Structure 1
Amino acid sequence: MLIDSHAHVSPVWYEPVETLLGQMARHGVARAVLTQMIGQADNRYLADCVQAHPSRFASVVWIDPAAPDAAQALARLAEQGAAGVRLRPGARSPGPDPLAIWRAAEACGLPVSCVGHAEAFTAPAFAELLQAVPGLTVVLEHLGDTSKPMASEADGELRYTVLRLARFDNVSLKVPGLGELVPRAANALCGGATFGTAGAALLEAAIAAFGAPRLMWGSDFPVVSSREGYGNALALVRECLLDHPAAVRDAILSGTARRVFWKET
């Protein structure tokens, strides 16, 4: 079974779910985690997709963490079947407890799909947050940074600093397509090397730091279509994993997402 842990669908932006289903069918992907766009607090379309295809989709919702009723709204969404919530690392709640929304996710048993920059993930405030909610699973999107390639040596070094968060047992990472991590090689379209070795090296470092049970592949559909494309985002990561044991491949391409978002062992 192949699972895509990070895909976006919408009737008003990007692509509808039918387009994702076509890509999944073409490339043998059995399930996907529908991850709501930041700023879209109307999660009904994701719920409709899950209801129409309950064996194929799980939904990660978005709410405004600064809303006075955010914790209550999150509890309602959890009751309605949400499998996770998307937050930025700096998300804070109004009132006496700035971490109320994070504690609400922990209480609801909802993992947080966390989107942000490496600078925010490696800041002391984020480490303090992780320590405050030890029972909350926090999954860092895009291998701990936003969807941009490492354009300089400093960019690469900053990405590697995120891997130090492996010291927190409640942190996992989403492994994106390699086109997110490094620029396309100049001769890639002529049949040459696609991305070189930098992306594969970072993936190997993530496996060494976190272990496969805390890594999961995610396409970033449909944004990936402007980079290497859905099929290559899967195929090139699978190629990098060929020399690893089957248990490592299965965890990254399926098992971790099943455990985190479907609560399957």
Structure 2
Amino acid sequence: MRIDAHHHLWDLTRRDQPWMDGPWADPIRRSYAPADLVPHLAAHRIAGTVLVQSSASYRETVELLAVAAGDGPVRGVVGWADLTAAGLPDALAALPAGLVGLRHQVQDEPDPDWLARPAVRRGLRTLADRGLVYDLLVTPRELPAAQAAVRALPELSFVLDHAAKPAVAHGGWQPWADALTALATLPNVTCKLSGLVTEADWSAWRPPQILPYARHALDVFGPDRVMFGSDWPVCTLAAGYGDVVALAEAATDHLTAPERAAVFGGTATRVYGLATGPSPGRD
């Protein structure tokens, strides 16, 4: 079963998306619903998805879980809750079924060592106790703190979003490549093959500029610890859904069939504990 392990939905009539902080975001400055995504999934034989938070809003998480409960492709939600709050256990307990993990926009924190804060580590331990996953949204700047957190919490499963956002547009390789290799030595972290097109030149990128980054992630993590994600609709700033799928297929064309199956569904299903039958909302 092919899985898109990373996409977003948002409703701008309910709340703004603060990260859309300039004209650069105008092409995606509208609401996105499941009906907008489903035709893309059908065209590329993708049977299920992981829906990921886009704003630091507990209410948004509740709304995304309602989407997951419906008759649609969403098989799990990576939501948001305040990791530093003393009431985090109660907040998680109050959420309906479908939550597979949490994420915070660590890349937007002024402190590159935000993940090292005692209150954050306490929250991460709560996720481990609940059997949830933590998605790391970091850039190369925050990779050292991410590696320290992953090492300090071997009981927690981490997923690195967008391969830590290397500087593809500028051809930047180090220190990203060595930091990713070091992170991959820790067995409790996996990596999403996602988000790379928007780290490239949006109007001029070509596959040969991006493929070395994707293949480095595959080399250091191995296919059984890499999962495909479209990052739709953010990806449409630089590429169509089909272009992103084709890029991932090109990056994995040297793998065996079982290895490609891991990248395109098996890893996500295992790490997030996704249902392999009908989606939760179906009878």
CA separation in 1, counterparts of 2:214 and 2:135?
19
Structure 1 unmatched ranges of 5 or more: 187-193
Q: Counterpart of 2:104?
A: 87
Distance of 1:97 and 1:48 partners within structure 2:
29
User: Given that residues 66 and 92 in structure 1 are in contact (C-alpha distance below 8 angstroms), is that contact kept between their aligned partners in structure 2?
Assistant: no
Contact 1:33 1:57 (C-alpha < 8 Å) held by counterparts: yes
Shift of 1:111: 0.8
SS for the counterpart of 2:99 is coil
Show CA shifts across 1:114-158 (max 9, x none): 11211111x2x433322221011100101122xx752324x3223
Task: Note if 1:217 corresponds to 2:228.
Answer: yes
Tell me, yes or no, if structure 1 residue 144 matches structure 2 residue 161.
no
Q: Which runs of 4+ in 1 moved over 4 A?
A: none
Q: What does residue range 198-209 of structure 1 map to in structure 2 within 5 Å?
A: 198-209=209-220
- Judged with a 3 Å threshold, the aligned counterparts in structure 2 of structure 1 residues 172 and 14 are, in CA distance, closer, same or farther, namely farther
Matched, 1:18 2:40: no
Are 2:132 and 1:132 equivalent residues in the alignment?
A: no
Tell me the alpha carbon deviations over residues 46-75 of structure 1, each in whole angstroms, 9 at most, x when there is no partner. 111111136642111101223331232124
Question: Are 2:5 and 2:49, in contact at CA under 8 Å, matched by a contact in 1?
Answer: yes
Residues 230-250 of structure 1 deviation map (CA, whole Å, 9 limit, x = unaligned): 111001211232221112111
User: Offset at 1:177?
Assistant: 5.3
Asked whether the equivalents of residues 227 and 268 of structure 2 are also in contact (C-alpha less than 8 Å), the reply is yes
Count of residue pairs brought into register by the alignment: 250
Which residue, out of 190, 207, 222, partners 1:172? 190
Note the aligned Cα RMSD (angstroms).
2.4
Is the alpha carbon distance of 1:98 and 1:142 closer, same or farther for their aligned partners in structure 2, counting shifts above 3 Å? closer
What's the % identity of the aligned pairs? 27
Quote the Cα distance in structure 1 between the aligned partners of 2:255 and 2:87. Answer: 46
Note the C-alpha offset of 1:183: 2.7
Give the distance between the partners of 2:39 and 2:153, measured in 1 at CA.
38
* SS of corresponding position for 1:33: strand
Query: How many angstroms apart in 1 are the aligned matches of 2:273 and 2:119?
Result: 29
What runs of 5+ residues in structure 2 fail to find an aligned partner?
A: 13-29, 107-113, 277-283
